[in-house]
Structure 1
Amino acid sequence: MHLEKLITFILILGCLHSVQSQEADTSTFQTFDYEHEGETYVMQQYFIVFIKKGPKKSANQEEAQRIQAQHLEYLGSLFEKGYICMNGPFGDDGDIRGATIYRVANAEEALKLASGDPAVKAGIFTLEVHPWWLARGTGVK
């Protein structure tokens, strides 16, 4: 349980740092101002997609390696286009295999992008999407 909290915290920090380094049109994103100790923060809605074990397994090692390479290439392309803030695997062997934080306007867009993953299409992974509020423009310390 502590590992899950640590990983979630690291994902938050990484996403916040990543927001600084990429530019995207955020005019359609949901935001609100949050006042704390005399500072105003712009809170922005992101979408976290939990990548879970799917119903299928690769037939053999060669197929598993091919699908994994396609999976990483696909997520990398979405990161380069600015749709993904951060993604990565979890460090245990639970049903939730990893998470991706999407910087998109709504859950439907996050699900559509996540569903294009070759590993999802192959049934290796399933998806669970949740809205997530983070302060825009903060970074990792």
Structure 2
Amino acid sequence: MKYLFSLALLCCLGFAANAQTTNPIYNKALADSLGADDYGMKQYVLVILKTGSNTTTDKQKLNELFKGHMDNIGRLAKEGKLVVAGPLGKNDKAYRGIFILNAKTVEEAQKLVETDPAVKARLFDVELYPWYGSAALPTYLENHSKIEKQRH
């Protein structure tokens, strides 16, 4: 009896997994332009910025590095390489912020984060993880520029 129940459950799960429907509003041109797979998803790399080993207190140097950090964020976003960036609230892990990079591999993303002056100077250390998310994610940026009242 237990065997029959398990077999019936597997058959139902298998059927449910294969019961896919076609999206009536699917836009192939848009999906292709965003690099979407059949599920509207694609590979990114999640970057966690952590407090680094550089403990300099030189205000001028810190200001210069953080300006470079912000400029680099803007450049990567303009190039379509940076999809999401933002600081994290106080936490016990020394996590400072995140990036979601439009990169297919961790190695590609590593090269991108190495262009950040604050990372180069070790104000931030980074952890990188493959992340699978909506291919439409980059499209929010065009609306963000319309709703931000002040720019950095």
Instruction: Give the TM-score taking structure 2 as reference length.
Output: 0.63
| Larger helix proportion of the pair | 2
Could you say what secondary structure the match of 1:62 adopts? Answer: helix
| 2:136 aligned with 1:137 | yes
1:71-110 → structure 2 map (5 Å cutoff): 71-92=69-90, 94=92, 95-110=94-109
| Larger strand proportion of the pair | 1
| Distance of 1:73 and 1:119 partners within structure 2 | 11
Superposed CA deviations along residues 20-74 of structure 1, whole A, max 9, x for unmatched, are xxxx9665xxx643xxxxxxx3221111100111111223111111110011101
Task: Compare CA radii of gyration and give the structure with the larger one.
Answer: 2
Instruction: Give the TM-score taking structure 1 as reference length.
Output: 0.67
Give me the identity figure in percent.
Answer: 31
Misfit runs of 4+, over 3 Å: 24-27
Displacement of 1:96 in angstroms is 0.8
Instruction: Report the count of equivalent residues.
Output: 107
| Distance of 1:96 and 1:117 partners within structure 2 | 17
Q: Which residue is equivalent to 1:67?
A: 65
The more displaced of 73-82 and 57-66 is: 57-66
Give unpaired runs (5+ residues) of structure 2: 1-31, 141-152
RMSD, aligned CA: 2.3
| 2:145 aligned with 1:124 | no
Question: Equivalent of 1:43, from 41, 48, 52?
Answer: 41
Answer whether contact 2:34 2:135 (CA < 8 A) is retained.
no
Displacement of 1:114 in angstroms is 0.5
| Distance of 1:130 and 1:121 partners within structure 2 | 19
